[in-house]
Amino acid sequence: MSSDTPIRIDCLQYCNWSEKIFRQLRSGGLDAVHVTIAYHENFRETAANIEAWNRRFERHAGLIIPGRTADDVHAARRSGRTAIFFGLQNCSPIEDDIGLVEICHTLGVRFMQLSYNNQSLLASGCYEPSDAGISRMGRGVIKEMNRVGLVVDMSHSAERSTLEAIEIAERPIAITHANPHRWHPVVRNKSDTVLKALAESGGMLGFSLYPHHLAAGSQCSLHDFCTMVARTVETMGLTHVGIGSDLCQDQPDSIVEWMRTGRWSKQVDFGEGSPDNAGFPPQPEWFRDNRDFPKLERGLAQAGFTAPEVAAIVGGNWLDFFRRSFAPAGQH
């Protein structure tokens, strides 16, 4: 990467990881990616997923390194590799055991959603008919996550739960992958109330490139997307936004079924899809994989952002958030 290439961080992907994709990360100049390592897995299953990542770190040591701190983003960049940060899209990996919060952090987990679509032990999910807010255990877990340096992520949580999490948390939270509801009014996108509270508390929104989160879906244009980014910056301020593409490259449709239905139902839940559109939707043609990051940057520039502003959006803001968020309280 030339020295004027911005630091690039994608704060959510769940690809079917392979050497091909790791090489595309390098082609796209990604310095760091937050990868999902569990949806409905329990602790033991999550450990097995980390084992699979450890094997990738061994096999592809020339392409990826484990990401634990903001410094690892710089270390990856200096050595021409991509730092991989672990995240959980649900709290199932900590089971009913608050002690597993620190264990997961020790194992490298840096983000955890308090709920995924459904009610969890900690919070309500965005598809629940009722939103009970943060539970008794949820309050304790947020405090423990704040203590050890594990970021609260409310991407798939319901509105009241999200607002309560922002209020209860003593450190900024994240919505790693979603867009404004005003732009595209689907259940997973976020209200202005949430986005403003998030920004005021020092939190971060990662703009999603998952077609169900985009106005016009797979047909969304780069121009429309970047205009939406500009409008959101007017609401939230420049320093509170980044990218969380939700790229699910090369995944078979069985995976989206696992993401949505896990083991919680005997019926198929279609989540953001529908019976006639059950699988992964096709990506917009201007963001097919990690090699399209520079294209995204050109789109942001055309929407009126200066080069330093583009750099903040595609990585600088997340890097600053990583620096503030991953160390134990009192050490950051």
Binding test (CB under 8 A) with a second copy, winner from 52, 61, 268, 329 = 52
Q: How far is the CB of 124 from a second copy (least distance, A)?
A: 27
- Should residue 51 be labelled a site residue for a second copy when binding is judged by CB under 8 A? yes
User: Smallest Cα–Cα separation from 303: which of 228, 245, 234, 253?
Assistant: 228
Residue 54 touches a second copy, criterion: CB under 8 A:
yes
Taking Cα atoms as reference points, which of 311, 73, 5, 153 lies closest to residue 65?
73
Tokens of 276: 């006639």
- Nearest to residue 285, comparing CAs of 221, 235, 197, 214? 221
Helix then strand then coil, in percent of the chain rounded to 5, is 45, 15, 40
Q: Does 143 bind a second copy (CB under 8 A)?
A: no
State the helix-helix crossing angle for 99-106 and 136-148, rounded to 10 degrees.
Answer: 30
Q: Does residue number 265 form part of the binding site for a second copy (CB under 8 A)?
A: no
Q: Which of 4, 44, 274, 331 binds a second copy (CB under 8 A)?
A: 44
Among residues 28, 87, 108, 273, the one that binds a second copy under rule CB under 8 A: 108
318 near 204, Cβ under 8 Å? yes
Minimum CB–partner distance for residue 292 and a second copy (Å):
33
Q: Is 55 in the site for a second copy (CB under 8 A)?
A: yes
Query: Applying CB under 8 A, which of residues 1, 16, 19, 48 lies at the interface with a second copy?
Result: 48
Contact status: 102 vs a second copy (CB under 8 A): yes
328 binds a second copy (CB under 8 A): no
Give yes or no for a contact between 217 and 189, defined as CB atoms under 8 angstroms apart. no
**Judged by CB under 8 A, does residue 100 bind a second copy?**
yes
Count of residues engaged in binding a second copy, rule: CB under 8 A: 17
For 146, 153, 325, the CA distances from 41, given in Å and listed in that order, are 23, 17, 24
Is 50 one of the binding residues for a second copy (CB under 8 A)? yes
Residue in 5, 47, 143, 235 binding a second copy, rule: CB under 8 A: 47
Rank residues 305 and 326 by Cβ distance to a second copy and give the closer one. 326
Unique residue bearing structure tokens 């790229």? 247
Who contacts 201 (Cβ-Cβ below 8 Å, separation ≥6)? 166, 167, 169, 172, 173
170 interacts with a second copy by CB under 8 A: no
Does the protein bind a second copy through residue 75 (CB under 8 A)? no
Report, in Å, the least distance between residue 206 CB and a second copy. Answer: 27
The footprint of a second copy on residues 78-97 (CB under 8 A) is 97
Alpha helices in 153-261 (DSSP H): 159-168, 192-200, 222-236, 253-261
Point out which residues bind a second copy (CB under 8 A).
43-44, 47-48, 50-52, 54-55, 97, 99-100, 102-103, 106-108
